[in-house]
Amino acid sequence: MRTKNTQKPMMSGKRKDMIFYISMMAFPVAQFAVFYIVVNGGSFLLSFQNINILTDTTTWTFDSIARMAKMLVTDSGMLTVLKTSLVSYLLLLVIGTPLGLLFSYYIFKKLPLSGAFRVILFLPSIISAIVMVTIFQFFVERAMPEFVRVLFHKNIPGLMENTATRYGTVIFYNIWIGFGTGVLMYANGMSGISQEIIDSAHVDGVTGLREFWSITLPSIFPTISTFIITGVAGIFTSQLNLFSFYGGAAPENLQTFGYYLYMHTQAAASRAEYPDVAALGLLLSCVAIPLTLLVKWAMEKFGPSAD
């Protein structure tokens, strides 16, 4: 009797859930089907095509895949690109994330001048990227050498013109403009920490760094891990704003896979030239997808729990 009674509402609850689920997911799935699958499906197929625009024929082949796979392993330039892509990810992770965390913590704790800082920190994100690139580029290329000349009577080339400083400048720019978003998200995560926990920690004498380490960090770990996972996904897609600075002519030691792909897509003169780029993208995805899922799994398994 009892079992029957509870089962009945459960069943109908499940069906209700299912109907609710389907009705809520209908739009997102349909939107995805149209604007992702229909629109981009052809891009995936391109990897296996050979297109002749003169005869208007498309043949199916693994040529592009094979060719690009060979290039990835034999071309010395690709090794440089891989290195830059990885190093850039690590730099952005190692420098950008802790800075972002510290600053949002600083603001969260309402330490001196935090009100002013949070406005300033966010400025680069709210200025149109086209303008920001212009301002930044002009500043490091023209104004900085001018300052040095006036203050130290020394002639130096622009920071991006100078081979020794250009990579650092590009990384700086990326950290700099990515800051606002990170700080916003972390601060938002921190705002969820209940005051009671902090107070009881204070009673136990847990303050400062220890408080940050054992209370703040775990509670925003989901946000951090999302950024880390997104970052891994970005190893093969991020172009570090190189196109804005260099157009199609970024120096070899600055190029990332994201830039390389973007540049070659931009340069393609007709559909006939797409298969190679698509194939390269697909091959890189074959590495990036498992890697990202692995990192995600590791984050879930080894990360601190939120409680």
Residues numbered 137 to 156 that lie near other proteins (CB under 8 A) are: 137-143, 146-147, 150
| Min CB(11)–other proteins separation in Å | 15
Q: Is 128 in the site for other proteins (CB under 8 A)?
A: yes
Among 2, 270, 301, 302, binds other proteins (CB under 8 A): 270
Q: Which amino acid is at 223?
A: T
Site for other proteins in 274-293 (CB under 8 A): 274, 276-278, 281-282, 284-285, 288-289, 292-293
Q: Is 266 helix (H, G, I), strand (E, B) or coil?
A: helix
Closest to 44 measured CA to CA, from 64, 74, 29: 64
Bridge partners (DSSP) of residue 58 are 51
What's the CA gap between 108 and 103, in Å, rounded?
A: 8
| Tokens encoding 95 | 């420098």
Q: Is 158 in the site for other proteins (CB under 8 A)?
A: yes
What's the CA gap between 27 and 20, in Å, rounded?
A: 12
CB 215 within 8 A of CB 136: no
Site for other proteins in 160-219 (CB under 8 A): 160-161, 163, 176, 181, 183-185, 187-188, 190-195, 199, 202, 207-209
User: For 176-208, b where at least 16 C-beta lie within 10 A, e where not — what string?
Assistant: ebbbbebbbbbbebbeebeeeebeeeeeeebee
Q: Is 100 in the site for other proteins (CB under 8 A)?
A: no
CB 217 within 8 A of CB 304: yes
Block residue for tokens 């775990």: 218
Number of residues binding to other proteins, judged by CB under 8 A: 142
Site for other proteins in 59-88 (CB under 8 A): 67, 71, 75-78, 80-81
Q: Is 190 helix (H, G, I), strand (E, B) or coil?
A: helix
CB 281 within 8 A of CB 72: no
| Min CB(3)–other proteins separation in Å | 19
| Min CB(157)–other proteins separation in Å | 7
Among 101, 103, 240, 242, binds other proteins (CB under 8 A): 103
| Min CB(167)–other proteins separation in Å | 12
Among 96, 118, 170, 216, binds other proteins (CB under 8 A): 118
